[in-house]
Structure 1
């Protein structure tokens, strides 16, 4: 079963913030094309508050079919369309990826990849990721590195594939959360704010390869 133009979508956003991830929004499908679904700006249920969507936001979505059955899929924001009203462009899922079972944050996998970081305050360092996904990543940071929530960063991450090839993936991001570990080191959680769709696909390919390994 595939969603249709006019169907309601119920959306959760994986922002790296647990409270935000538990908020549900709803939106209506305005149009579709070969690789995307165009939706109205999502609205929070109960409050009517509009949700500002950023390119790279990872989404867990369901829509209802006959008998009240929930059909889940995962997607991410990769553009906008200015029409009579502003539309948000999300990646259209493959039909076989739509499931009766919810799979949140399926693009995020544990991975220790080399990442070079430059902050808005011109702090530069090279470190390792804790996890990566299509909408963001987390990396380790020494206790003496001054970095704060809401800060902008520019990075590249080194992505190795099973066939032996290696890609450098550049992106700009925003620090959404910092977790301090018992040893004083920090895990910095970042969402992408600017990343070329081609570069994002490189990360998604890596994540699928890692997921395949985990399943085996």
Structure 2
């Protein structure tokens, strides 16, 4: 599946390949045509610096579809385009057969304690902490006083902090898949996304990708 406009892209640049801890850059597809993708200037969120690409530079690009399938391809910077508010990097658009894709659907899932606001029905609301998060759903710990059972639909708002220091919110409806008891007097509630926008799902996937990179460096 070819990337779409607004798709979040994770990039490793060839000029950084020799570094011990090569930076993973984040960008977004701003536009495309039959032969090219136009990317926002890639950002190294750890340093807060923008990557100064050059013509002929090679990029190794990773992205995830809404279904959780990982895709990768290699491309080359072919030029630059000036817009009113920003500059864009033009890279060669890959042919479908050049994109490597995982055969199985498997969202990144990482352990994380993030703040999540939960609403049950119209009146019951509480705040909890996640146990783990992933592109397909989250789990959280809460007190047993809340009436939560498998099959229940919950409305949730997830607070997502990134390495850059920026904070985003993702809103979604989720279905409870499993509930297990945990001490002291708590439940672990496992949920899968039932209704989440592509934009908010990409926020969660981006967070998981950053966490995965942090784990690899430890």
Q: TM-score range by the shorter chain?
A: 0.5 to 0.7
Normalized against structure 1, the TM-score is what? 0.55
Aligned 8 A contact 1:142 1:184 in 2: yes
Alignment of 1:93 with 2:71, yes or no, is yes
Are the structure 2 counterparts of residues 215 and 91 from structure 1 closer, same or farther at C-alpha, using a change threshold of 3 Å? Answer: closer
Shift of residue 75, structure 1, vs aligned partner:
6.5
Measured on the aligned residues, the alpha-carbon RMSD in Å equals 2.7
**Which consecutive unaligned segments of at least 5 residues does structure 2 have?**
5-62, 74-98
Offset, 1:110: 0.2
Match in the other structure for 1:67: none
Question: What is the distance in 2 between the residues matched to 1:146 and 1:140?
Answer: 13
- Structure 1 176/75 Cα, relative in aligned 2: closer, same or farther at 3 Å? farther
Superposed, 1:128-167 pairs within 5 Å as 128-167=129-168
Runs of 4+ in 1 over 6 A off after TM superposition: none
2:182 alignment partner in structure 1: 181
2:3 corresponds in structure 1 to 35
Inter-partner Cα distance in structure 2 for 1:178 and 1:75: 28
Distance 2:208 2:160 in 1: 10
Shift in alpha-carbon separation, 1:106–1:155, aligned structure 2, 3 A: closer
CA contact under 8 A between 2:120 and 2:153: conserved in structure 1? yes
Deviation at 1:148, TM superposition (A): 0.9
| Aligned: 1:212 with 2:208 | no
Note the 1:5-154 alignment, pairs <5 A.
Answer: 33-35=1-3, 78=67, 91=69, 93-95=71-73, 98=101, 105-120=106-121, 122-154=123-155
How far apart, in 1, do the equivalents of 2:206 and 2:115 lie? 17
When normalised by structure 2's length, the TM-score is 0.55
Deviations 1:141-200 (A, max 9, x none): 102111111000101000000000000110001000001113221000010011110111
- CA distance in 2: counterparts of 1:179 and 1:76, whole angstroms: 30
Q: 1:171 to 1:180 in 2, by over 3 A?
A: same
Unmatched 5+ stretches in structure 1: 1-32, 37-73, 79-89
Count of residues paired in the alignment = 134
